[in-house]
Structure 1
Amino acid sequence: MSAHASRAAIDAALIRADWPEAESVFTLRLDKEARAFAEAADARRAARSRAPFLGVPITVKDNFDLMGHPTTAGSRLLADAPPARRDAAVLERLRRAGFIIIGRTNMTEFAFSGIGLNPHYGTPANPAFTGERRIPGGSSSGAAVSVALGIVPAAIGTDTGGSIRIPAALCGLSGFKPTTNTVTRAGVLPLSTTLDTVGVIAQSAADCAALFDVIRDRPGPPRLPVPVQRIRLGLVCNYVMDGIETAVADAFADAVERIEAGGIAVERIVLPELDGIPAMMREATFASAESAAWHAPYLAAGRDDAYDPRVLTRIRAGETMTAPAYVALVAARAAAIETISAQVAGLDALLWPTVPFIAPTIAALADDAAYHAANLLALRNSTVANLFDGCAISIPCPGDGPPVGLTLAALSGRDDQLLGISITVQTVLKGA
């Protein structure tokens, strides 16, 4: 390996970050700092450092604290906020493992959308579609595009209702949302304190697993390959399959056929509890209620004009949600988790399409009604895992068409089992 391997890797990443296709990917670039860390990494390599990811470039979402910089979370509202006094805990873990952070990535303001548009910093275009500007998915938009363009091999983001898995699916990547409390959120600006999860976007399930092992709070067991004959998947046939575009349905059906042909058992199931999700969240939602509480001082100070109006609408919706409605939501969620856990006993993971549609053009969502309709549909399937405190990963369906994501989800705490299964499934899909 070259004595300047880290510097070369960082220089290559920064060159790609300057490509026209990377416009609006970053809210903050750390070129000078990254090059200095690369020089230090090369010196550590010469001294035989055992850091497993020494000199590897990575990006982090704009809602993570970065020492010396305000945490803006894709907003203009917090541009003048006091700089963070230390890195978010996850960033500290990344640095100890040898990763070099080259910048913070763009996102939907305050992480409150699955579409990925940002009127303040611009919207990064989905690299899977050349010659047209289509949505990258959100809220971790810049994170996904930074990986899809090959700027970095992996990116760190957050997921409250699909904010890692949606952009991963729409950009043709893998995105993993762990069980909520497996990764600390210390130093991460919140959207929903109940649902927020720190996770990873990368090229493969194996890469997601490797990054999860770096950022997780406690080490997991050795991750061994899971033989196909030991995997039993439940293909969910209700709720998550409603209103799916033909291109998504076809790509997903082909992927399922390949999975079964590869020797993995797939059982068609119905989960009635899913059909009750809209009614469960009719009077209150965790994201709106909890974000309204966090933003209350800014709203009381008359700072409405600093917000993305589409995000502000969803935050202000939380102001009218009553305490009894919120308490009822908490109770309904707990009951649903218990019921679903019993219904899927014996299955290793659940299976469904990540996003019901192919990435639309940015222009198609200029109308507010079209935007909000697309946002609700984008979040519908992925929110299931957050709402029921599970873990989930989106991996690409094979094929030559536009990107379509396939979700594998499991119950709370089964992250290592899910990742092992996902690696096997992805191997089957690539080899079919």
Structure 2
Amino acid sequence: MPSSQTRHEDFDALNDALHAFVRVSTTVQPSVAESPLQGWNIAIKDCFDLAGEIASVGSPMFTVRRVTRTATAVKRLLDAGACIVGHTHMVELAFGGWGINASMGTPRNPWDGRTVRVAGGSSSGSAVAVAARMVSAALGSDTAGSIRMPSALCGITGLKTTFGLIPEDGVFPLAPSYDSVGPMAQSANDCAKLFEVLTATCLPPLQNLHDSRVRVLENAAFPVPVESAVQHAIDAAVNVFNRLGLHSSKCSPPFALADLTRDAGILIGAEAWTVHGALFELDPSAFGADLQRRFEQARMADPAAIAAARGARVEASERFRSWLQAGEILLLPTVHCSAPALDSVDECGSPLGQFTRWVNHVGGCALTLPAGFDTLGMPVAIQLVGRAGTEARLLALGSAFQQATDWHRRVPDLGWATDS
């Protein structure tokens, strides 16, 4: 069951302070008794269609985009008894990882009442709403880490599902062969319940958790250095899994994560341009400055580089499937840092998704778990990665980890946001 929710009278004050919701639903369906998600209040990212509501995809040009259908993923939540609270803020068209949206509003990380810090993106508002306990859970989308990055920076649990496992109709696309839908919640158990509803399946029981093997990414294979708190979280997580009786060993993949990140960036840009380029060319000024820059880069991309990246993606996917066996889970950071101050972020610099983007590129699935805090009290996280279709194992290991730790139970002190 989801944990208790923020008091109703605090909701508006929290939203004013954190900017999690772009709009609260006007057609909220009350929770249905004796249903799988009875009592669950769920937020949906602003790229999910809900009939009769506006879904603006984080873009000023779509602020009057009132839809007439409900995305299958959202309908499954409603049919299971959930109450849809509203649409959450996101990066414009989901094309960005830090969670910044200068046009529509940038959600604030709830863990720091003094310094305005980013929440991560592109599912920024969804992560903030869950972390602040404004909702039980939220829906996000993940093209290059857009569920996992904000979940990590906001101290919640997020599941990037296998491509195509959850229907994507009624979800505004960014890069169709990279996009996936998944849950963001307080715990792995909550994500498991939502996963079953969203996939219309039952998770098969893991016969023996100890059959799983944890492979720990060698530091030499890290695409970028990580902050000390992140490294400590990885080391501590290894100790937790060892105490649980799981075999762990260091490993290096048969590819460079930095190369996969680069190729994924090329192909995501190419696909985004294919989907949205014509609209962009009608009026580039209708988009925010960051999105204009990304589309201009995509428009100028070298066709030979795109073709080379496509070929390399096939090869990398085959290597990944051969290297990581069905019973093996890869342990590595979700992101390299805790949430930085908003005014310190350089959108033109290194992307936040150095540890996440490659998973979409090779067709894996992944779970991010809260795993500690840095010296400033900001959350850090670990990531478990598996081959396609291994969500049951990821969630079982995540649940075992969370039974042995309490990071996911920590709640930010939001007195600064609600005191009048």
Q: What's the TM-score once normalised by structure 2's chain length?
A: 0.89
- Displacement of 1:274: 2.5
Task: In structure 2, give the amino acid aligned to 1:123.
Answer: T
For residue 234 of structure 1, the aligned residue among 208, 215, 225 is: 215
2:100 is paired with a residue of what secondary structure? coil
Query: Which residue matches 1:25?
Result: 20
Give the aligned length: 401
Query: Which residue matches 1:153?
Result: 136
Task: In structure 2, give the amino acid aligned to 1:381.
Answer: F
| Alpha carbons 1:289, 1:317 under 8 Å: kept | no
Task: In structure 1, give the amino acid aligned to 2:121.
Answer: G
- Displacement of 1:322: 4.5
Task: In structure 1, give the amino acid aligned to 2:41.
Answer: P
Please state if 1:341 is matched with 2:335. no
For residue 348 of structure 2, the aligned residue among 372, 378, 397 is: 372
Please state if 1:100 is matched with 2:83. yes
| Alpha carbons 2:206, 2:393 under 8 Å: kept | no
Query: Which residue matches 1:296?
Result: 277
Query: Which residue matches 1:64?
Result: 48
| Alpha carbons 2:223, 2:256 under 8 Å: kept | no
For residue 353 of structure 1, the aligned residue among 327, 330, 333 is: 333
- Displacement of 1:232: 0.9
Please state if 1:403 is matched with 2:371. no
Query: Which residue matches 1:311?
Result: 291
Change (3 A) 1:330 1:166: same
Please state if 1:74 is matched with 2:58. yes
1:3-402 alignment, distance < 5 Å: 12-13=7-8, 15-19=10-14, 22-30=17-25, 32-34=26-28, 37-38=29-30, 41=31, 45=33, 50-81=34-65, 83-216=66-199, 218-224=200-206, 226-227=208-209, 229-237=210-218, 238-240=220-222, 242-275=224-257, 277=259, 281=263, 285-301=266-282, 303-345=283-325, 347-365=327-345, 370-374=346-350, 376=351, 378-398=352-372, 401-402=377-378
Change (3 A) 1:275 1:93: closer
C-alpha separation between the residues in 1 aligned to 2:207 and 2:76?
26
C-alpha separation between the residues in 2 aligned to 1:357 and 1:72?
30
1:103 is paired with a residue of what secondary structure? strand
Query: Which residue matches 1:3?
Result: none
- Displacement of 1:323: 4.4
C-alpha separation between the residues in 2 aligned to 1:185 and 1:150?
26
C-alpha separation between the residues in 2 aligned to 1:180 and 1:14?
39
| Alpha carbons 2:19, 2:105 under 8 Å: kept | yes
Deviations 1:396-432 (A, max 9, x none): 114574211100000111122222222122223349x
Identity of aligned residues (%): 31
Deviations 1:119-169 (A, max 9, x none): 122211111122221100100000000001111110001000100000110
- Displacement of 1:316: 2.2
Change (3 A) 1:17 1:260: farther
C-alpha separation between the residues in 1 aligned to 2:203 and 2:170?
27
Deviations 1:359-389 (A, max 9, x none): 1000112xxxx23225x1x111011211111
Q: Which moved more, 1:239-248 or 1:336-345?
A: 239-248
- Displacement of 1:346: 6.3
Moved over 4 A (4+): none
1:260 is paired with a residue of what secondary structure? helix
C-alpha separation between the residues in 2 aligned to 1:348 and 1:394?
16
1:409 is paired with a residue of what secondary structure? strand
1:60 is paired with a residue of what secondary structure? strand
1:233 is paired with a residue of what secondary structure? strand
| Alpha carbons 2:40, 2:137 under 8 Å: kept | no
| Alpha carbons 1:241, 1:356 under 8 Å: kept | no
| Root-mean-square deviation (Å) | 2.3
2:169 is paired with a residue of what secondary structure? coil
C-alpha separation between the residues in 2 aligned to 1:224 and 1:170?
29
Whose radius of gyration is greater, 1 or 2? Answer: 1
1:329 is paired with a residue of what secondary structure? helix
Task: In structure 2, give the amino acid aligned to 1:364.
Answer: S
Q: Which runs of 5+ in 2 are unaligned?
A: 408-420
Change (3 A) 1:11 1:231: closer
Q: Which runs of 5+ in 1 are unaligned?
A: 1-8
Change (3 A) 1:296 1:220: same
Task: In structure 1, give the amino acid aligned to 2:267.
Answer: F
- Displacement of 1:340: 2.0
- Displacement of 1:324: 4.4
C-alpha separation between the residues in 2 aligned to 1:279 and 1:184?
25
- Displacement of 1:355: 0.5
Task: In structure 2, give the amino acid aligned to 1:33.
Answer: T
Query: Which residue matches 1:5?
Result: none
Q: What's the TM-score once normalised by structure 1's chain length?
A: 0.86
| Alpha carbons 1:358, 1:402 under 8 Å: kept | yes
